[in-house]
Amino acid sequence: MMNSDLKKKLNQLNTEDLIWIIYLGIIALSFYSNHLERDYFLKHDLKDKTHYQQNMILIFSILILVYLYFLKDSFEDFKNLSSQDSVKKKKLVTLSFIASLFIAISGFIFLYIALVDDELQIELAFN
């Protein structure tokens, strides 16, 4: 790797380390949300329902930011493909971009569900 390529890759890895920390926070919030949802179904306390919904909106809002980061990164890789790149690399980078796009779309869909599902009829989970 050239010096600037190496620096870019190291910066990218540092950002991904931060994202792993964010995921740990998301996992903790998800455990707490499950607790609130369970309490709501057992006790029918509207405060638990409201807190659960707020947590789910927060979780999916944060996840959308993460998904958009990966979509942007994937798009840059796609945009930077050159005619000298192997067919295999072109195929894999294109597939990675498509997958990142679908994941971002799913994040927006889950956020929408969290915003409008007042009866908690849909089970939400981030993947």
User: Given this model, what pLDDT does residue 1 score?
Assistant: 55
Alpha helix (H) residue ranges in the chain = 3-43, 46-79, 87-116
User: Given this model, what pLDDT does residue 118 score?
Assistant: 83
Q: Which of 6-15, 46-55, 118-127 has the lowest mean pLDDT?
A: 118-127
Kindly state the DSSP code that residue 70 receives in the 8-state scheme: H
Cβ atoms of 70 and 102 within 8 Å: the answer is no
Summary mean pLDDT of the chain: 92
Which residue is associated with the tokens 């067919």? 87
| Average pLDDT value for residue range 106-127 | 83
Kindly state the DSSP code that residue 44 receives in the 8-state scheme: -
User: Given this model, what pLDDT does residue 123 score?
Assistant: 72
Question: pLDDT by residue (tens digit) across 67-77?
Answer: 999 999 999 99
Q: What is the dihedral of CA 99, 109, 114, 60, to 10 degrees?
A: 30
Q: Calculate ∠ Cα 57-61-63, nearest 5°.
A: 120
| Average pLDDT value for residue range 37-63 | 93
The residues spanned by each domain of the chain are: 3-116
| CA–CA separation, 127 and 123 (whole Å) | 13
Question: pLDDT by residue (tens digit) across 4-49?
Answer: 888 888 999 999 999 999 999 999 999 999 999 999 999 999 999 9
User: Given this model, what pLDDT does residue 91 score?
Assistant: 97
Among 101, 15, 23, 110, which Cα is nearest to 61's? Answer: 110
Residue type, 109: I
User: Given this model, what pLDDT does residue 73 score?
Assistant: 94
Cβ atoms of 74 and 80 within 8 Å: the answer is no
User: Is the per-residue pLDDT at 93 higher than 90?
Assistant: yes
Write out the two tokens for 24: 């740990």
Residue type, 124: L
